[in-house]
Structure 1
Amino acid sequence: MDESLEKRVRSLLERQDESAANRAAIDILKALLLLYGSAWESDLKDMLAMIWGARQLSLEEMGELQAAMSDAEKVLQEMGLIKIEERYRGDLSRSEATLEKLYTTDHLLLLMKVLGGDKELDRIRFQLQG
C-alpha cells in the first residue's frame, strides 16, 4: 500500500471541516467504500443522499455539498484515489444504453483501513442491512 497516499487521505480527513469540497470528497470516498469500490453516478448520488440523510443535514447543507462535488472529484482524481470516466450503462427501461459517469477506486483496501472505524459508516451499513 502506498504510505504517502494513506497520509494524503488522512490529511484530507483532518481538513474535511475546512471546506465543502473537502467534506464532499470524504463523503465520495465513504460512498465508494459502501459500494465496494465502484458506482455509477446515479448510484453514488443515492448513497451520498443516504449518508447526508443519516447525518441529518438540512437541504441547504446538502445543496452546498452537491455544489462542491466537481471540486471534490477533481481533488480525488488529482490525488489518484478515484477514476471517473463516461461509459454506456445498460438500462432495461429504455431501448438503448445511457451515457453515465462511472466512479471507481483501485484503493479499496486503503479506504477500508483508513475509514474502517468510522461510526457513521457503521450506522449506514446497519441501515442497509435492514
Structure 2
Amino acid sequence: MKNCLVVDDSKVIRKVARHILESLDITVSEACDGREALSQCQSSDPDVVLLDWNMPVMSGMEFLQQLNATRSSRPKVIFCTTENGLGHIKAALDAGADEYVMKPFDRDTLESKLQIVGVL
C-alpha cells in the first residue's frame, strides 16, 4: 500500500486530505510544518508528500529545498496551496515539486494528480 505524508498547518485540510487519500487506499501520516515533515521523511519513506506552501516554523519551499539537499532519492511532492500565480507554480516546479494542486481540492483532482506523479 502506498503512503502519503500530508504537510499543512491547517488541521481541517489535513483531515480532508486524509479522508480522500484513505478512500484511495493510501496510508496517511501528518505533519503541521516543514520541520516536522522533514523529521518524518528522515525516519520513514513516504511515497508522496502533499505539501502546503505557507506554514509556520518551515515553509513548504524551505522543506523542499532541505529534502532535496539531504536525500538522494526522495518522495514525489505535490504542492497543495492557495498560491495560484504562475510565478509560484514555476518556483515550486523549479524547486523540484512534481505537481501542483490548488486549494480547495476534491477527490477527483487529487486522484488525478496522484496518477500524474505515478503514485496511483
**Bigger relative contact order, structure 1 or 2, given CA contacts below 8 A and separation 6+?**
1
Q: Which structure is higher in helix share? A: 1
The structure having more radius of gyration, on CA atoms, is 1
Q: Which structure is higher in strand share? A: 2
Q: What TM-score, normalized to structure 2?
A: 0.29
